[in-house]
Amino acid sequence: MSSLTPARGFDDATAVTALGDGRFAADVDLGWAAPTAANGGYLAAIVVRAIAAHADPAGERRLRSLTLHYLRPAGAGPLELTVELLRSGRRIANARVTATQGGKEVLTALAALAIPDLPAAGTWLPAPPAVAPAPPREAPRLAPDKWRREDDAHWLQIFDGAPAISHRVQLAPRFGGIPFSGRAPKPGESPEAGGWITLPEPHAVDAAYVALCADVWWPPGFEPLDRPAVAPTIDLTIHFRADLPPQGLPDQAVLGWFRSSAASSGLIEEDGLLFLGDGTLLAHSRQLAVFTPIEPVE
């Protein structure tokens, strides 16, 4: 699959159509693919659309937790989602989603939604990392060999062989280094990756877009390796911490900061934080992925 596969825009590529009885149809676009199949964050965005349409059509609640288990790769074409409202309480609602393709389940998910402004027993928040600001959306792209972490006047030029989804977004790295550079972390340190993320065209920061951002960056575990590998996601949990109304927050870049503390037995975890430029915490994420080398072709 070419990394330059033509793709529909984000809203079109994540749209769902109601079929009745909690069932929805979507059309998976491999212009938003990871190396092996549709990207997990992209599929999570589709799931978010279906949850909102069935479990909260009036927009009275906010999605607060979404955990997805990816059962098999999702390919191009029709995807059917079934959303079941498990409980609808005064403050909290819970939903379950199953997505099938070609008669086989490709993912299952559990979600929790809450009313805005729950009574708070206390409040504390992580400090956003100090990094150079995001470039303007219209800023040109710069080749990786010329990139500097403090550059706020360019986006990174993505090489042609990168996964298709990398060409659907604009990235300005602020953490970590080059994937597969063989730079092992020092004792006690964790590999990290991330930086500013935006779409080429203006888009509100809504829950579906935050779900995409949680899994759009290359894994931090790639930097210590000296040869290519893949990391297909087994499960992904996103905790949405900001108040994201149905129409979303105003268009702006999102800062993603991703770290991995353990790679063992062919598995790797990744923890993420997503911020806005003013320091607003958008989401926490955690995922577990298979961590396997790409076998040479005989």
How far is it, in rounded angstroms, from Cα 118 to Cα 98? Answer: 29
Does 281 score more than 90 pLDDT?
yes
Question: CA 134, CA 130: separation in Å to the nearest integer?
Answer: 12
For the ranges 2-11, 56-65, 244-253, 257-266, the lowest mean pLDDT is seen at 2-11
SS3 string, 106-119, reads EEEEEEEEECCCCC
| Residue-averaged pLDDT of the chain | 94
Count how many Cα atoms sit within 13 Å of the Cα of residue 124 in the half-sphere of its side chain.
0
The pLDDT score that the predictor gives to residue 295 is: 74
**For a pLDDT cut of 70, what percent of the chain falls above it?**
97
Q: What is the DSSP secondary structure assignment for residue 287, as one 8-state letter? A: E
Residue with tokens 């927009």: 59
Instruction: For residues 77 and 91, give the distance between their C-alpha atoms in angstroms, rounded to a whole number.
Output: 37
Question: How is 143-166 classified by DSSP, letter by letter?
Answer: -GGG--TT--S-EEPPPTTS-GGG
Q: Please write the tens of the pLDDT for every residue from 215-226.
A: 999 999 999 999
160 vs 234, more confident? 234
Q: What is the pLDDT of residue 36?
A: 79
Q: Residue 3: pLDDT above 50?
A: no
Distance CA 209, CA 249 (A): 11
- Residue-wise pLDDT for 103-129, tens only, equals 999 999 999 999 999 999 999 999 999
66: number of Cβ within 10 Å:
27
Beta strands 62-70 and 104-114, pairing class: antiparallel
Mean pLDDT across the stretch 281-285? 98
Q: Which residues contact 246 (CB under 8 A, 6 or more apart)?
A: 52, 59, 206
Residue 243: other Cβ atoms inside 10 A: 10
Could you tell me which residues are beta bridge partners of residue 27? Answer: 78
Q: Where are the domains of the chain?
A: 10-116+134-293
Q: What is the pTM of this model?
A: 0.95
Q: Which amino acid is at 72?
A: R
What is the sign, positive or negative, of the torsion defined by CA atoms of 286, 99, 209, 85? Answer: negative
What CA–CA distance (Å, rounded) separates 289 from 264? 11
CATH number of 10-116+134-293: 2.40.160.210
Residue-level pLDDT at 184? 86
**Backbone φ and ψ of 155, nearest 5°:** -100, 160
Residue 296 C-beta-side C-alpha neighbours within 13 Å: 2
Q: Average of pLDDT values for 146-175?
A: 95
pLDDT one-digit tens code per residue, 43-99: 999 999 999 999 999 999 999 999 999 999 999 999 999 999 999 999 999 999 999
Whole-angstrom Cα distance, residue 258 to residue 268? 13
State the burial class of residue 13 (Cβ atoms within 10 Å of its Cβ: 0-12, 13-18, 19+): buried
The pLDDT, as a whole number, for residue 5 is 54
Cβ neighbors of 239 (< 8 A, separation 6 or more) are 64, 65, 283, 284, 285
